[in-house]
Amino acid sequence: MEREMIVRPRRLRTTAALRKMVRETRMDKSSLVYPMFVKDGENLKEEIPTMPGQYRYSVDRIGEILTEMADAGVTNIMLFGIPEHKDEVGSSAYACDGIIQKALERAKKEVPELFYIGDVCMCEYTSHGHCGILKGAYVDNDLTLEKLSQIAVSQVQAGADMVAPSDMMDGHILAIREGLDKKGYITTPIMSYAVKYASAFYGPFRDAAGSAPSFGDRKSYQMDYHNRREGMKEALLDVEEGADILMVKPAMSYLDMVREIKDATDLPMAAYSVSGEYAMVKAAAKLGYVDEAAILCEMAACAYRAGVDIYMTYYAKEIAQYMEEGRIG
């Protein structure tokens, strides 16, 4: 005797309203972070050749993009600096008149309602392009920790609401947490680039920020993309050291790590859709190979489905618009 089919999953896919009602992954604009580049100089808005539609702004013009983001409902901004002066120890990164420090002070005055995140690293500021203090050709981990703490403190003093160390030094979260606490910034959160792989997807960013290493690579501190257990180890160490938010970088090719870490910890989960992801979509869309809007919506939804709570993307304004329209979210 044939059984009547009573379980029909397609029932819940019959109309757009029903599909949206039962949607499992929810997202909103408050979870988006827009990464932007600030450069020493005056009256500058330079398009980045490898990232069409993205710009380097001088401090006197950052109000334009900040207001644009605020109007779009994107309330979180990550700042990356491009200094005029670079040296062996990246002193512009922690100077009180450094590019990020000036940008934060200006941003807080012009668009104070936004939430500002300072990227804590040294690669944009060192003459050699590595993310720490060199001892010979090797980045000295422990000497670098002191500088990272100085950078974080200086950014918070200038107005940063949160700091995000991206250097991948051992012990960096604890060093920064202790440095902030000693200065009385016990409520300032740390978003750790906990699982940051040595990735070819960073290429356009290094062009944008002028941060490519002058010799060698960063594989002695950024992670081998073959490794999963190592990523979990890094994340759990950062939890022990006091991280408040964990990040996986890049996003698109590493969503397996997002899911694993999300399941293993109780901290909010961030992912950074990096410059290479942005550039690939832009290039393919320009050639007519893909539907740009459809692709970026799918990329974002997949990240949130994997467990992302906070999504860093150069497409933040566009995704906010699509959320507003109900295309995703």
Residues in Cβ contact with 218 at an 8 Å cutoff, skipping those fewer than 6 apart: 123, 130, 131, 168, 198
Active site residues: 196, 249
Phi and psi dihedrals of 209, rounded to 5? -100, -5
Q: Supply the pTM of this predicted model.
A: 0.93
| Residue among 78, 30, 90 nearest 54 (CA) | 78
26-325 folds as TIM Barrel (3.20.20)
Residue 1 has a pLDDT of: 52
Facing residues of 134 across strands? 139
Residue 303 has a pLDDT of: 97
Residue 88 has a pLDDT of: 85
pLDDT digits (tens, 9 = 90+) for 254-300: 999 999 999 999 999 999 999 999 999 999 999 999 999 999 999 99
Residues in Cβ contact with 53 at an 8 Å cutoff, skipping those fewer than 6 apart: 47, 282, 314
Domain ranges of the chain: 26-325
Residue 20 has a pLDDT of: 85
Largest Cα–Cα distance of the chain, in whole Å?
Answer: 82
Residue 258 has a pLDDT of: 97
Residue 130 has a pLDDT of: 81
Q: Are 79 and 104 in contact (CB under 8 A)?
A: yes
Residue 217 has a pLDDT of: 62
Sign of the alpha-carbon torsion through 197, 203, 204, 209? positive
Distance of alpha carbon 23 from alpha carbon 25, whole angstroms: 6
Distance of alpha carbon 71 from alpha carbon 19, whole angstroms: 29
Place of tokens 């992670």: 223
133-135 and 138-140: which strand pairing? antiparallel
pLDDT digits (tens, 9 = 90+) for 205-247: 767 656 666 655 667 778 899 999 999 999 999 999 999 999 9
Q: Are 270 and 245 in contact (CB under 8 A)?
A: yes
Residues in Cβ contact with 153 at an 8 Å cutoff, skipping those fewer than 6 apart: 94, 179, 180, 183, 185
Residue 213 has a pLDDT of: 65
Residue 228 has a pLDDT of: 96
Where b means 16+ CB within 10 Å and e means fewer, 37-53 reads bbbbbeebeeebebbee
Residue 139 has a pLDDT of: 86
| Tens digits of pLDDT across the chain (329 residues) | 566 887 889 989 999 889 988 888 889 999 999 999 999 999 999 999 999 999 999 999 999 999 999 999 999 999 999 998 888 888 899 999 999 999 999 999 999 999 999 999 988 889 887 888 888 878 889 999 999 999 999 999 999 999 999 888 899 999 999 999 999 999 999 999 999 999 988 888 767 656 666 655 667 778 899 999 999 999 999 999 999 999 999 999 999 999 999 999 999 999 999 999 999 999 999 999 999 999 999 999 999 999 999 999 999 999 999 999 999 98
